[in-house]
Amino acid sequence: MALVSIASLDASEARIVLPRIGAWHVDATLQGATGIEEGDAVTVSVAGSLSLVGHATRAQAHEDALRVRVVAGGAGLAGTATAKFYQGAQVRLVLGDLLTGAGEMLSSTADAAILATLLPNWSTFARPVGVEIATLLSVAPVGTAWRVLADGSVWVGPETWPVSSLAFELIERDPARKRLVLGVALPTLLPGFTLDGERIGDVEHVVTAAHVTTIARLA
């Protein structure tokens, strides 16, 4: 059984990109597979321990393989927000409208204090939803992050940097680019964790039939 499967179809190769801020996506090649179409809601299973819920935004047959891109949640954060004006609204209302309009959901674990932030005035512009969310959260305390969780919901809040117990082998350290290349048994490292005393920002897992490599950018 492959380490990565999409909609129960094994992937021969996969690239899993998990940013600390924003939406994750998975590019995968499924040998001899069919049945996934653009717009389908799919679950990406990673090593049987991590399930990523998203939508297929690309599904193209190439020779004997199906190349698929899965984007987090409803894959709607790249869509255009509706221009709307608010007065005396909380961040929760504005964010909720942005997410609902994009077909996304707010995580129940989102920080309540940030969501309760009062906005005397606010305008959302007809720009990409992700850009509007980032702009909206500029009113939150410094260090506030937002990203799409594995379950496809959108989380906002301060980073807590929990410690990861992941076993790894350091293959390369690039201080200039603040980048670590790790050899791991399973591609399960997530952004927002502390690994060996260092805060992990964006994470990228490259899974092939031969090996698993995790590229971690330090926050």
Partner 1 sequence: MIDWLRRALGMVIVPCIDTLGTYRAKVVAQSADFRTVDVQADDSRIGNLSKVPILLGLPGCTVNIAAGCFVRLGWRGGDRRQPYVTSWESEATVTKLVANADLIELAGNGYAAVLDTLIGALKNYVTAVNAVLASNCVNGAPMSAYAAQTAALVAFLTALSASGAFKSTKVKHG
Interface with partner 1 by CB under 8 A: which residues?
82-85, 87, 119-123, 125-127, 135, 139
Q: Give the SS3 label for residue 79.
A: coil
Q: With respect to partner 1, which residue has the nearer C-beta, 39 or 88?
A: 88
Residue 137: DSSP 8-state: G
Greatest Cα pair distance, the chain, in angstroms, is: 57
Q: With respect to partner 1, which residue has the nearer C-beta, 136 or 184?
A: 136
Q: With respect to partner 1, which residue has the nearer C-beta, 85 or 177?
A: 85
Q: How far is the CB of 135 from partner 1 (least distance, A)?
A: 7
Q: How far is the CB of 136 from partner 1 (least distance, A)?
A: 8
Q: CA-to-CA distance for 150 and 72, rounded, in angstroms?
A: 8
Q: How far is the CB of 22 from partner 1 (least distance, A)?
A: 18
Q: With respect to partner 1, which residue has the nearer C-beta, 81 or 195?
A: 81
Q: How far is the CB of 8 from partner 1 (least distance, A)?
A: 39
- Pairing mode of beta strands 179-184, 212-218: antiparallel
